Structure 1
Amino acid sequence: MDLRPLTPELSVSPQIRPEDLPALAAEGFRVVINNRPDAEVGPDEDGEAMRLAAEAAGMEYRAIPFNPGQITPDMVEAQAEALALPGRKIAYCRSGNRSTVLWALSRAGDEPTAELLETAARAGYDLSGILPLIDSIATRGR
């Protein structure tokens, strides 16, 4: 697994597998946030397989599928709600980038934009392409 911490409570990752969840739970993760649409994966890693594995590992599971280029306010709000759940969280997609985008958008206006971009960059994600969207959300709110 390629876990990339954004905050003490949140790490993002490329695709994880159901068999990874017991180890993540043992490391203290309590919430799994799936940002990958089922159409991108096979049945061994689809939302239902991941939900069942998360529940078997004693973890909360949230599915917020994010198709590239199709961000909606509802997705940002759902991500914010998932991130507000108690305990450490792991959010994943194909590379971790979409999970990082949703994290940044959910924090827009609550944290300085420069800090969001810097945090993402430290984790290996360049969010400069969504800077106008971050600033727009920060200005008008979610």
Structure 2
Amino acid sequence: MEIKPVTASFVVADQVNEADLQILKAAGFNTLICNRPDNETPEQPTAASLAERARSLGLTWHWLPITPGQFPDDSIARFKHILSAAEEPVLAFCRTGTRSISVWALSQAAEIPTADLLQQATAAGYDLSKLAPQLDAAKR
């Protein structure tokens, strides 16, 4: 698991497994958002198994599966709602972290300038330049 800070209270990561959850708890994370649908690859843990372990550790768990490259408005709105009510710090993850940082940027686009969102993503190691038109459209 590779954790990449995006803001002071939000980070993204690649696939998290059950052993990682104890590490995340010890690191002070409070809320986890899984953006990966089940069964993308045979070796990935199920969302249910991760949720059970996370909750047993006292972590808040949200499962918001996102199909690669598809960011429906309802998923963006739900992600924004989860963040607004979440106990921080928050970690969102998927296979590589790209979906998680993308849905984060889209959920913040109405309030944060596109250039700033792209810069934050770049600083975390992600190129979201292809999302720029969608980020700009969210401001209208």
Q: TM bucket by the smaller chain?
A: over 0.9
Give me the whole-angstrom Cα distance separating, in 2, the residues matched to 1:12 and 1:97: 8
Tell me the residue number matched to 1:135.
136
Compute the displacement of 1:69 (Å).
Answer: 2.4
Give me the whole-angstrom Cα distance separating, in 1, the residues matched to 2:94 and 2:5: 15
Compute the displacement of 1:49 (Å).
Answer: 0.8
Gaps of 5+ in 2: none
Pairing 1:16-55 to 2, within 5 Å after superposition: 16-42=16-42, 45-55=45-55
AA aligned opposite 1:50: L
What CA deviation, in whole Å up to 9, does each residue of 1:87-122 have, x standing for no partner?
211100010000000000000011111000000001
Compute the displacement of 1:12 (Å).
Answer: 0.2
C-alpha RMSD over aligned residues:
1.2
Tell me the residue number matched to 1:65.
65
Tell me the residue number matched to 1:122.
123
Gaps of 5+ in 1: none
Q: Does the Cα contact within 8 Å between 2:69 and 2:99 map onto a contact in 1?
A: no
Give me the whole-angstrom Cα distance separating, in 1, the residues matched to 2:42 and 2:48: 11
Give me the whole-angstrom Cα distance separating, in 1, the residues matched to 2:109 and 2:28: 27
Aligned length: 139
Compute the displacement of 1:41 (Å).
Answer: 3.9
Give me the whole-angstrom Cα distance separating, in 1, the residues matched to 2:17 and 2:69: 25
Indicate the SS of the match to 1:37: coil
Indicate the SS of the match to 1:81: helix
TM value normalised by structure 1? 0.93
Tell me the residue number matched to 1:14.
14
* Runs of 4+ off more than 6 Å: none
Q: Does the Cα contact within 8 Å between 1:92 and 1:99 map onto a contact in 2?
A: yes
AA aligned opposite 2:96: S
Give me the whole-angstrom Cα distance separating, in 2, the residues matched to 1:15 and 1:64: 14
Q: Does the Cα contact within 8 Å between 1:32 and 1:60 map onto a contact in 2?
A: yes
Task: Work out the percentage of aligned pairs sharing the same amino acid.
Answer: 36
Give me the whole-angstrom Cα distance separating, in 1, the residues matched to 2:7 and 2:130: 21
Indicate the SS of the match to 2:68: coil
TM value normalised by structure 2? 0.94
Evaluate the alpha carbon distance shift between residue 71 and residue 63 of structure 1 in structure 2; reply closer, same or farther with a 3 A threshold: same
Compute the displacement of 1:47 (Å).
Answer: 0.8
Compute the displacement of 1:42 (Å).
Answer: 4.0
Compute the displacement of 1:86 (Å).
Answer: 1.7
What CA deviation, in whole Å up to 9, does each residue of 1:71-90 have, x standing for no partner?
11111011112212122111
AA aligned opposite 2:25: A
1:86 aligns with 2:87: yes
